[in-house]
């Protein structure tokens, strides 16, 4: 079975022009079909502040009111997505930018206001792979931002890690899928102050221990929850670490195992 790589980038990889360019150069060298998923929360926060729109977060998660949704759309689907697509075209990778609304690829439902009202935030309920498989068969590389839709005309802000995980799970019916979460850290750390404390293989029990000890918190929790959901739903490989791991498997990173 052919291998498909789903790669999510976020954090300082997007915000640092040099780091982004280095990553994209490695990305285009990957053989076979691939999908890129990106976040952009830091850039969205900057734009919101410039427009005088208050940024509200609860437990590290953004509350997306109507004005914030407009900023996120402009930032994610506009500035960041099209910039990445243009950079990939410059590297001779024929890329096409996507939200979940495009070609009805990713459908979600608005999250319940109970117990917390996060506003226009979507939880994914369905991924449609047919159009994407057709495009990839023609060597077109999809580039997804973290926006989905509810099939009733409403766009929704969606966690980029979740979006990457659900894409990898959906495509596991057609490919041997590999999922990579790339960010500025070398992987999951036993001690967040020590970059040399990378956990090479993270299993559910070790993860549970890290949660209980408080060594994993905030945004890392949903990221790892998505990692384990993917590895438990037919995704063949899940890795988390710095972008260099996609071209050199000897680079320190964390591999998620059952």
The CATH number for 77's domain is 3.40.1160.10
Say whether pLDDT at 215 is over 90: no
Say whether pLDDT at 208 is over 80: yes
Look at residue 102 in the predicted model and tell me its pLDDT: 98
Query: How confident is the model over 196-220, as a mean pLDDT?
Result: 88
Are residues 50 and 59 in contact, defined by beta-carbon separation less than 8 angstroms?
A: no
For residues 254 and 95, give the distance between their C-alpha atoms in angstroms, rounded to a whole number: 28
Look at residue 151 in the predicted model and tell me its pLDDT: 98
Say whether pLDDT at 213 is over 90: no
Domain span at residue 47 reads 3-256
Q: Per-residue pLDDT tens for 127-183?
A: 999 999 999 999 999 999 999 999 999 999 999 999 999 999 999 999 999 999 999
Look at residue 59 in the predicted model and tell me its pLDDT: 75
Look at residue 217 in the predicted model and tell me its pLDDT: 73
Q: Per-residue pLDDT tens for 78-113?
A: 999 999 999 999 999 999 999 999 999 999 999 999
Query: How confident is the model over 53-64, as a mean pLDDT?
Result: 87
Query: How confident is the model over 21-41, as a mean pLDDT?
Result: 96
Q: Per-residue pLDDT tens for 156-166?
A: 999 999 999 99
Q: How far, in whole angstroms, is CA 160 from its chain's centroid? A: 4
Task: List, in sequence order, every residue forming a beta bridge with 6; answer none if it has no partner.
Answer: 35, 179
Q: What is the average pLDDT value for the chain, to the nearest integer?
A: 94
Look at residue 96 in the predicted model and tell me its pLDDT: 98
Look at residue 214 in the predicted model and tell me its pLDDT: 83
| Percentage above 90 pLDDT, the chain | 80
Say whether pLDDT at 249 is over 80: yes
For residues 33 and 6, give the distance between their C-alpha atoms in angstroms, rounded to a whole number: 9
Report the domain count for the chain: 1
Nearest Cα to 7, choosing from 239, 232, 225, 171?
239
Least confident of 152-161, 207-216, 248-257: 207-216
Query: How confident is the model over 185-199, as a mean pLDDT?
Result: 88
Q: Identify each DSSP E strand in the chain by its residue range.
A: 3-9, 34-38, 57-58, 61-62, 95-98, 106-110, 122-127, 141-144, 147-149, 155-157, 176-182, 201-202, 237-241, 253-256
Say whether pLDDT at 219 is over 80: no
Say whether pLDDT at 191 is over 90: no
Q: What is the CA radius of gyration of the chain?
A: 17
Look at residue 165 in the predicted model and tell me its pLDDT: 98
DSSP string, 79-132: IIHHHHHHHHHHTT--EEEE-TTGGG-EEEEEPPSSS---BSBEEEEEE--HHH
Look at residue 234 in the predicted model and tell me its pLDDT: 96
Query: How confident is the model over 18-46, as a mean pLDDT?
Result: 95
Q: How far, in whole angstroms, is CA 175 from its chain's centroid? A: 19
For residues 18 and 131, give the distance between their C-alpha atoms in angstroms, rounded to a whole number: 32
């Amino acid at each position: 079975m052919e291998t498909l790589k789903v790669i999510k980038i976020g954090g300082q990889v997007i915000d640092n022009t040099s780091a982004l360019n280095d990553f994209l150069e490695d990305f285009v060298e990957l053989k076979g079909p691939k999908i890129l998923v990106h976040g952009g929360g830091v850039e969205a926060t900057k734009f919101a502040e410039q427009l005088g729109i208050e940024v509200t977060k609860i437990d590290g998660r953004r509350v997306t009111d109507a004005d914030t949704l407009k900023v996120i759309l402009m930032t994610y689907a506009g500035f960041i997505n099209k910039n990445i697509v243009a950079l990939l075209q410059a590297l001779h990778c024929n890329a096409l930018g996507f939200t979940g609304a495009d070609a009805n690829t990713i459908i979600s439902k608005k999250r319940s206001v109970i117990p917390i009202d996060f506003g226009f935030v979507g939880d994914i309920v369905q991924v449609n792979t047919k159009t994407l498989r057709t495009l990839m068969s023609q060597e077109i590389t999809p580039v997804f931002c973290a926006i989905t839709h509810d099939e009733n005309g409403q766009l929704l802000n969606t966690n980029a890690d979740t979006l990457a995980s659900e894409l990898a799970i959906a495509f596991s019916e057609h490919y041997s899928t590999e999922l990579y979460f790339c960010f500025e850290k070398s992987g999951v750390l036993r001690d967040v102050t020590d970059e040399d404390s990378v956990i090479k293989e993270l299993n559910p029990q070790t993860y549970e221990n890290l949660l209980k000890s408080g060594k994993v918190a905030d945004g890392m929790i949903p990221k790892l929850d998505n990692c384990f959901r993917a590895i438990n739903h037919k995704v063949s490989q899940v890795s988390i670490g710095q972008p260099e791991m996609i071209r050199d498997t000897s680079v320190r990173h964390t591999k998620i195992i059952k």
